[in-house]
């Protein structure tokens, strides 16, 4: 029986290897597809902007679907409602960051805790850098670093999210499984920005100082905290 057992094990190993190769190939194909999609949408945006300009019209940029929110103040003197909202946003600590789907309810929540946070629209490259450099997934209540595709598949395979690029795509496009994907991501623990928040805000944040919405400038801030 031991010989048959050995053969069985060897066959299993070969099958497992084949599955791993297939998964790798599938991940690669998906990544390629996402790159093409992103390029096409960028090109069509550029084309629409040009057409509007040529016709002398104002081009309304598409509404942001995704926000990245960073906690920038501690809890000193914080009121119970603000504390509760920050907990709901999963922003329990200073320099924690989370992705948030932009809608009227979430924007209202952000406005209510405006003194404690800053937010804006992250670019695709910012999302990638965050996930690859500081991404952790929640698996069986454990905080596991996103070291490879298997971790992603373990956490989100049921939602057909089997590789890191799938996860990035789901977040970036605010896809149908965004909620599950985002909840599986642990809040990002960022570093204190080089040179403090002061450096970055000069000239383009309103009277509220560092807090509040930074529109696209959030990418510059994340780069300094990542």
Place of tokens 């209510």: 112
Quick one: which of 217, 6, 18 has its CA closest to 122?
Answer: 217
* Average pLDDT over all residues of the chain: 86
Checking if the pLDDT of 67 tops 50, the result is: yes
Task: Order across the sheet with 117-120: list the strands.
Answer: 188-189, 96-101, 66-71, 117-120, 212-213
Token digits of residue 160: 């057909």
pLDDT of residue 106: 92
pLDDT of residue 208: 42
Token digits of residue 53: 């300009």
For the entire predicted model, the pTM comes to 0.76
pLDDT in tens, 75-100: 788 999 999 999 999 999 999 999 99
pLDDT in tens, 29-53: 888 888 888 888 888 888 988 998 8
């Amino acid at each position: 029986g031991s010989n048959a057992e050995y053969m069985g094990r060897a066959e299993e190993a070969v099958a497992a290897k084949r599955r791993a190769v297939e998964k790798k190939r599938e991940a690669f194909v998906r990544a390629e597809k996402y790159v093409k999609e992103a390029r096409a949408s960028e090109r069509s945006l550029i084309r629409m902007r040009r057409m509007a300009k040529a016709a002398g019209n104002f081009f309304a940029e598409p509404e942001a679907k995704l926000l990245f929110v960073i906690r920038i103040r501690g809890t000193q003197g914080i009121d119970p409602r603000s504390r509760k909202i920050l907990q709901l946003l999963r922003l329990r600590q200073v320099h924690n960051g989370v992705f948030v789907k932009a809608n009227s309810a979430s924007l209202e929540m952000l406005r209510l805790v405006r003194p404690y946070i800053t937010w804006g629209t992250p670019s695709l490259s910012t999302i990638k850098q965050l996930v690859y450099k500081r991404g952790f997934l929640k698996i069986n209540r454990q905080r596991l670093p996103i070291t490879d595709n298997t971790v992603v598949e373990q956490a989100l395979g049921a939602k057909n999210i089997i590789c890191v690029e799938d996860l990035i795509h789901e977040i970036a496009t605010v896809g149908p499984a965004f909620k599950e994907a985002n909840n599986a991501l642990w809040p990002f623990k960022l570093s204190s920005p080089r040179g403090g928040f002061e450096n970055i805000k000069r000239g383009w944040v309103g009277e509220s100082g560092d807090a509040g919405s930074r529109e696209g400038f959030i990418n510059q801030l994340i780069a300094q905290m990542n």
